[in-house]
Structure 1
Amino acid sequence: MSNKITTLFQIQYPIIQAGMIWNSGWKLASASSNSGILGLIGAGSMYPEVLREHIQKCKKATDRPFGVNVPMLYPNIEEIMNIIVEEEVKIVFTSAGNPKTWTAWLKERGVTVVHVVSSVKFALKAQEAGVDAVVAEGFEAGGHNGREESTTLTLIPMVREALEIPLIAAGGIATGQGMLAAMILGADGVQVGSRFVASIESSAHQAFKEEVVSAKEGATHLTLKELAPVRVIKNKFYNDIVELYKTSPSIDDLKNLLGRARSKRGMFEGDLEEGELEIGQIAGLIHDIKPVAQIVEDMLSEYEVAKQNVQTIF
């Protein structure tokens, strides 16, 4: 399966394993890359030296390309970028910030840069900044999201119409059928997050993985738009947010409720009541926890079957 994305990253299949906080350590990234897709380490939940350790372990675990996802709103960004270059990581996905800030600096050092966006407006800004590709992420996605609430079904063709560089679709994609649909809409590849949370190699707590598997339609909601929009599973913490909104809270009120390390508490430590449990709407289609290699194999098989089924429709 060869196209712009496989050529850009030198991978077998145009699938990117999303670099999710508290889920995407070196084990998940290396297993993904060893399966022929692009694995990403999620730097957002790592102190700089922890990130360096994960990069070094990933390099020992795979001889295939892998990258690092860097949310630019996090502290220590300069140290993180310097570590990435020092460790000779050649692919960086940036998000939650202005792509102009780091794109030129990274590209001058031989790094391929991809930026995550949630609208046509920001996709064009990323292209103008010189990124090599864009991830357009729909409203269905888990974790931090855009404020526009554009679904993947509408976002991908609109971004494709406006963009000249390669396009990666994200948000609500966990199957081969979803992958085919995104590519028919104009994507050159897909980024998959939630499906890889429920993998053996994910660094998420087992209790969180099981919560994802048990999630049904309507189990998640996008909230905290005044801070940074985030899609979470409805639990006690979510219900506390709902109750607080009834009082017309200030930004400080919301920040006080959120507190510190809420996502670590939920996804990494397994507190299903008080933790922030970030996952996409597609969780309702995730029914088991299995190895990354099997997830990739299943997606590719589903993709091929879906292509054949589409041909029988017309």
Structure 2
Amino acid sequence: MYSEEQNKITKLFEIQYPIIQGGMIWHSGWRLASAVSNCGGLGLIGAGSMYPDILRENIQKCKAATDKPFGVNVPMLYPNLEEIINIILEEGVKIVFTSAGNPKTYTETLKKEGLKVAHVVSSAKFALKCEEAGVDAVVAEGFEAGGHNGREETTTFCLIPNVRKHISTPLIAAGGIALGSQMKAAMILGADGVQIGSRFAATEEASAHDNWKQKIAELREGDTQLTLKELAPVRMVKNKFFQEIDQLYENGRNVENLKATLGRARAKRGMFEGDLEEGELEIGQVSSLIEEVLPVQKVFENLLKEFRETECPDF
């Protein structure tokens, strides 16, 4: 049974609560990361949507805004990877979450410099590879999650107990978690902590456009779908842009046509610039449970209250 006094994740990252904020592109700037850390969780700056100089600026501003631990999320399929890693080391960041790549690529380098490393996976197979690579924690992300996702389409409820069965490394559950009751369920299934994206995307401190934040609060069950599995699977809102992608599937699975329609900067156009029709809008299924844009502190209060009040009924 989970105890706030005895927890692998809080000890590992030296935080108060085992709540990690997702390092989401176009959402996770220094304001969101520092707010989460100041509330006792672990804030992450999302390097995936930042040029190297912008990342450095966000790290420096985050250091000025909090004296608590925070980290950087690094998707390993993005360009300028070596430069990004060097900036993280130069700026003295102590925690890195890597994703979308081989955990062996930088884990050893980062750990030699004294950093804590976590890696995001979508299967028990890749969780084992993370353990072999020597990561400090594994994030197992289910099919419900927003943004880029695993091809296996394994849900969080199936994924977490299976990963737990195969590894002894500290385990963080992600995908479909926005309520304290969901957090408790994940930990009963074997997770040591949770990573939350969508709920923190709809906060006042997130760097996304206000149009998009309000749209998240209006989404209902079935309004998102996983697509583009031929390129890189991604869960997005069924807007006009999504329908264009869907039409291409009806006319045949032509990868080049998919790439041409996707184009460049679609995610920025949607989530950062607020174009709700032509932009790519990435969010998880749990968005249907999000009813309003809140400050981070209120999100934390709700999570902790729900967590503590949720009990498992006898039968």
TM-score if structure 1 supplies the norm length?
0.98
The residue identity in structure 1 corresponding to 2:134 is: G
* 1:313 positional shift: 2.9
Task: Give the Cα separation in 2 of the matches to 1:60 and 1:74.
Answer: 27
CA distance in 2, matches of 1:297, 1:10: 20
Q: What are the residue-to-residue correspondences of 1:215-230 with 2, within 5 Å?
A: 215-230=219-234
Match of 2:242 in 1: 238
Q: Which of residues 200, 205, 208 is equivalent to 2:209?
A: 205
Distance in 1 (alpha carbons) for counterparts of 2:132 and 2:157 = 24
2:189 aligns with 185
1:294 corresponds to 2:295: no
CA distance in 2, matches of 1:313, 1:302: 19
CA distance in 2, matches of 1:109, 1:251: 41
Describe the SS at the equivalent of 1:241. Answer: helix
Q: Aligned AA for 2:211?
A: A
Partner of 2:69: 65
Moved over 4 A (4+): none
The normalised TM-score by structure 2 is: 0.98
Q: CA deviation at 1:253?
A: 1.0
Alignment correspondent of 1:49: 53
Residue in 2 that maps onto 1:268: 272
How big is the shift at 1:55?
0.1
Pairing 1:154-193 to 2, within 5 Å after superposition: 154-193=158-197
CA distance in 2, matches of 1:177, 1:75: 38
Match of 1:253 in 2: 257
**C-alpha separation between the residues in 2 aligned to 1:264 and 1:131?**
31
Partner of 1:128, secondary structure, is helix
Deviation track 1:272-295 (CA, whole Å, cap 9, x = no partner) reads 000000000000000011110110
Amino acid at match of 1:209: K
Q: Mapping of 1:18-97 within 5 angstroms?
A: 18-97=22-101
Q: Which residue of 1 aligns with 2:314?
A: 313
Q: CA deviation at 1:251?
A: 1.5
- Distance in structure 1 (CA, Å) of the matches to 2:69 and 2:207: 20
Matched residues, number:
311
For the residues of structure 2 that align with 1:114 and 1:262, how far apart are their CA atoms? Answer: 28
How big is the shift at 1:208?
Answer: 0.4
1:313 aligned partner, one-letter code: D
- Distance of 2:165 and 2:218 partners within structure 1: 37
Distance 2:314 2:218 in 1: 33
* Percent of matched pairs sharing the same residue: 68
Deviations 1:256-285 (A, max 9, x none): 000000000000000000000000000000
Aligned partner of 2:47: which letter? A
- Say which SS state the counterpart of residue 212 (structure 2) adopts: helix
Q: Over residues 181-200 of structure 1, what are the superposed CA-to-partner deviations in whole Å (9 max), with x where a residue is unaligned? A: 00000000000000001100
**Cα separation, 1, equivalents of 2:32 and 2:146:** 18
Cα distance in 1, alignment partners of residues 314 and 145 from structure 2: 29
> 2: distance between equivalents of 1:278 and 1:119?
21
**Cα offset, 1:250, TM superposition:** 2.0
Q: d(CA) in 2 for partners of 1:106 and 1:89?
A: 10
Supply the distance in 2 between the matched residues of 1:75 and 1:106 (Cα, whole angstroms): 18
How far apart are the structure 2 equivalents of 1:49 and 1:31? Answer: 22
Give 2:305's aligned amino acid: S
Using the alignment, how far apart are the partners of 2:168 and 2:253 within structure 1?
42
Structure 2 distance, partners of 1:222, 1:313, is: 36
What letter is aligned with 1:286? I
Cα separation, 2, equivalents of 1:93 and 1:164: 18
Instruction: State the shift of 1:297 in Å.
Output: 1.0
Give, as a single letter, the amino acid of the residue that structure 2 aligns with 1:49: D
Distance apart, 1:249 and its partner CA: 3.3
Residues 150-186 of structure 1: CA distance to partner in whole angstroms, max 9, x if unpaired? 0000000000000110000000000000000000000
* 2:153 counterpart (142, 149, 162): 149
- Give, in whole Å, the separation in 2 of the partners of 1:130 and 1:239: 42
- Determine helix, strand or coil for the equivalent of 1:141: coil
State how far apart, in whole Å, the 1-side matches of 2:253 and 2:307 are: 46
SS of residue in 2 equivalent to 1:136: strand
Cα distance between partner residues in 2 of 1:205 and 1:313: 45
Whichever residue aligns with residue 142 of structure 1, its letter is G
